[in-house]
Structure formats: C-alpha cells, structure tokens
Chain A
Amino acid sequence: MTMENNSTQAAATTISSISSISTKSKTPTIREQHVKKKNVKARLFFFGALLLALLVMASFAESFCPYDPYAQNLDIALQAPSAEHIFGTDRYGRDMLSRVIAASHVSIFSSLSLVAAITIIGTTIGIVCGWRGGRLDTVLMRAADMFLAFPGLVFAMAVAGVMGGGIMSAVIALAAISWPKYARVARSKTLSVREMAYMRAARLSGSGTLKIIVRHILPNILTPIIVTSMLDIGTMMMELAGLSFLGLGAKPPIAEWGSMMSETRRLLSTVPIAVFAPGGAIFVSVMIFNLFGDALRDYMDPKRRGR
C-alpha cells in the first residue's frame, strides 16, 4: 500500500515537473510573436534614426560648429563651461564644443572606412579559402592564425609606430589585425553553402566560378558578416581613439576624440569637461553603433525576431 502511495506520489511529481517544464518552454503565441517582432522593428528604426543623425552631423560637422574649431585665442584659454562656450575652451582658447563636433568627422568616418576595408578584405579572403580549399586555404588561414596570435592593440601600436603615426597608418594597423575575424566567418559560411544542392544546380546551369560566388555564395553568407561589421564599428572607434590617445593616430591640431582626450588629460582635475566632452562623444557614438548593431542582428535573425 505504502509502495503504491509512493509510486503514485512519484508519478504526480513527475507529471507536475513535466507540466512545469512544458509551461516554461512553451512556444510564444502569435500575439506575443507579433509584439516581439514590432519591438525589434521599433528598436531598429529608433537606433537607425539616431545613427542617421550622427552620420549627418559627422558629414557636415563644420557647419554645425558654433565657432571655428581651429581658431586659437589665448585670451579665453581654459575657460569653464559658460553660455558662450558650453563645454568651455582648451588651453589654446579653442571652443571645445566646436572641436568635439568637428572631430566627429575624422573619428566616425575613419572607423567606417576601417570596418569597410576589413569587411571587404576579410570576406574576399574567406570566400577564396572556403571555395578553393587546398594549399591556398591552409596558407591563408595559418596567416590569419598568426595575426590572431598577437595581442591586437600591441601589434597595431607596433605597425602604427613603424608607419610613423597619422590617422591613415592607425587605420592600416588596425585593419592588419582585424581582417582574420571576417575571413573566418566568410570561410565557414562558404564551406557550408558550397555543399548545398543549389550550388550543384548553379554549376549545371553553366555559371562560372565568379558568377556563382557573386550571385549564389555572397548573398547567402552576407547576413552574419553585415551584423559582425555593424557591431565592430563601435569597437574599432574605441581602438582608433586609443591609438590616437597614445599619439599613434590623428596628429594635432586635427580634431579627433582620442587625440583631444590625450591633449587635455592634464586638465582632468582643473577643467574636467575638456576630457569628458570628447570621452562622452566616443561613449555616445559607440553606444549608438552597438545598439543599432544589436537591433540589426535581432531583425536579421528570424529566431530572435520571434517568427
């Protein structure tokens, strides 16, 4: 009798645990999916609008500046924030707000061109490796491993140092250490796509290698690459600012957020806004790019979209 009770209890416990599991892992209802989908779209539009505003500001930075960002006036040097100079002035009497706005052009577009370059280079190498395979694949992938084996920023500093500084050499230095990630993603996606039956169908139709790569492989591997590059813009912006801070990126007097922080770092205790203004600009821009990248990833991934 006791045994019977025990087994009934055990069965009841099992049933209740199964039902609790099934409640926890239940698939979302159509309404829930709809709401989730709408949220993802709303986020994408919101951060997309912010991103657009940021890009417009960076494109026409000079026209948004209240003062000339390069005009020196030692009479008003190191002023605290006021109605005239919202972020105060630096030690040459340049308006900090104007310099922060002007710097957006170099900071944002150098990160964008860096990410564009590594996306194109990395993806091309990845597709060639995945498609051709063999010795070429081994050689290029071992080269990628070599680049990944170095501590990224240290290697970039060495490259930028050898090339003699300047924003262009900072971009090249970071490109040299960042392409392997894209090559790896593109290679693994190409390897899986090339085995699909539609690749055989494309070959049967008489399409050549270049046409197959452009029309069939590239469109089918592009989604994760675009998402990776969107999420990378923020990281690259920070690394470029880091190199500039160390004096290996943009050279003074060019306004660039990293080099501005470096120029004003001694004023941290006296005029902290001079350091926080470019720092805040980096923070806000990186956040906008990252949040837009997140929203884009959710939008492009049907599972996250709640379909």
Chain B
Amino acid sequence: MNKNNAPILSVKNLTKVFKRHGQPDFIAVNDVSFDVMNGECLGIIGESGSGKTTVANMIARFIDATSGSITLFGEDITHAKGESLKNVWRKMQMVFQMPMESFDPRMKLGESIGESLVNSGMSAGDVKNEVTRLLSLVGLSAEFYPRYPHEVSGGQCQRAAIARAIAIRPAMLICDEATSALDVTVQSEVIALLRRLIHEMDMTCLFICHDIALVQHFCDSAIVMQHGKIVERGKPGDIVRNPQDDYTKMLIDSVL
C-alpha cells in the first residue's frame, strides 16, 4: 500500500502523564515515536492499559499531550485549538470501539452521519442524498436513515459509524478497537468493508487493536506497546514469525 515516503502523521517523543491526587503520577504513554506514511495502515497492538487508546486520543486532540509533538501533513497539531483543530478534524476522523455509544441516542443515524456535512455548509437536500449514498457504500439501505442507534445491531451501527467517519472524505482514519465489540463473523465483514474503503478512498489508517492476528491480516506495519512504551515495531508478519520481545511472544502465544 505504500505510495511514497512522505509521512502523513508523525509522532515524536509523545508522553502523557496523568496527575493523581494523593498518589504518584501515572505515565500512560512514555516517549512514543512513530511515522505513518501516505497510504499506509499502521497497527498499534497491546493489551488493555498499554496506552494505545491514549495515543489515539492525543493524536485526535481529545486530550493534551504532556510532552512531545504530533505532526499531520507537516503541520504541528500538538496544541491545535479552535478553528485550526476543526481543520485537523476535516483531515482526520475516528471510528470508536463501542458503536452504540458513539451515536447520540436521541438522534437518527442519518442525522448523525450527516452532521459533519451540515457543518461543512452542505444544503439539507444534498446532505440527505450524500448520507443515503454513504449508507449504501457501507452496505446499509436508505431505510437505516431514520432509525435510532438502539434500533440496529452492533455490526450495522459500526457500519453507520464508518459511514460517518468517511463522510467528509478524511485523509486519515483512526480505528480505535473498531471491531473489538463485534462478534467474529460481523468482525470479518467490518474488516473487509474497512479494507475496501481505505483502498478506494486512498486513506491512511491508524488501526488500534489488541488482536495481533487481526493486525497481521489488516496492517502494513505494526508497533507493539506495553506499559506506555513501544517494545517492538516492524512488519506484522515478521513480528508474528520472529518476535524479539518477551511481551510480544506472550501476546502471540495467547492468540495462536
């Protein structure tokens, strides 16, 4: 999938320390650096609490980094705020772990999917047509437009979440455990859908997952995180075949 050597996303020495009242500080992410090249799909593997979601949250600018820098398309976004942050979000979207919780329970799926289009100034009629097109792109019929999140299955909801994420044609997609809450058959369907869309829309992807087999199947390269640090990096196939770190070996043993 690699097209050229320009990194779309560059993370340098990223660190996140959570201050805790009356307890020692908790270092969730410790000096993490990596680049994601144009068109590449980078997997971040690690068990719960390894800091991979915190990395994603810092990249998406939901939380501030304690130190380090994040560069997207050559622009430093580490401290982006206001309009410049909205610009960042036009280029980068995210698919969340829990599909149902990522939709406002009081809004129709179609309205949620079209929210970014409305915000970008599209007219109501065009938004409706575009949302219908997006729904069909992710394998859902127009009947899903007026449904509420609790009226659809987890898999259908995650498809709608993917439709929402690709609505404004972002260059970068962050999938934070996007398939972890789904059962195995639905998981493979959603993975196939993501793979097709990433290819068709020429997106770069950061794929956060605890399942090393899934990363091997889906990603071009991978990093393994433990206790907030990167312990191994390389091609997922090489990592699985020839793990260098004890923690990676343990992860592989637990799956295979």
Contacts and interface: CB of A to CB of B under 8 A. Distances in A.
A206 B116 contact: yes
A197 B89 contact: no
Interface in B207-253: none
Nearest to A200: B62
Contacts of B62: 200, 203
Contacts of B60: 200, 204
B106 A205 contact: no
Interface of A: 196-198, 200-207, 211, 215-216, 219-220
B89 A220 contact: no
B104 A216 contact: yes
Contacts of A202: 104, 115
Given A197-B97, A201-B161, A211-B119, 13 more contacts: A197-B102, A198-B105, A200-B102, A201-B94, A201-B96, A201-B103, A203-B62, A203-B89, A205-B116, A207-B115, A207-B119, A215-B104, A216-B104
B6 to A, nearest CB: 24
A201 B168 CA distance: 13
Interface residues of B, number: 26
Contact of B164 (A201, A206, A207, A216): A201
A198 B93 contact: no
A205 B115 contact: yes
Contacts of B93: 204
B204 interface: no
Contacts, number: 59
B98 interface: yes
A202 B164 CA distance: 10
B86 interface: yes
Nearest to B92: A204
A202 B105 CA distance: 12
B115 A198 contact: no
Residue of A196, A198, A203 with highest tally of chain B CB at under 10 A? A198
Nearest to B89: A204
Contacts of A198: 101-105, 112
B116 A204 contact: yes
A216 B94 CA distance: 18
B4 interface: no
Contacts of B90: 206
Contacts of B98: 197
B120 interface: yes
Contacts of A201: 94, 96, 102-104, 112, 161, 164
B119 A197 contact: no
Nearest to B174: A204
Given A202-B115, A205-B116, A220 B105 contact: yes
A206 B104 contact: no
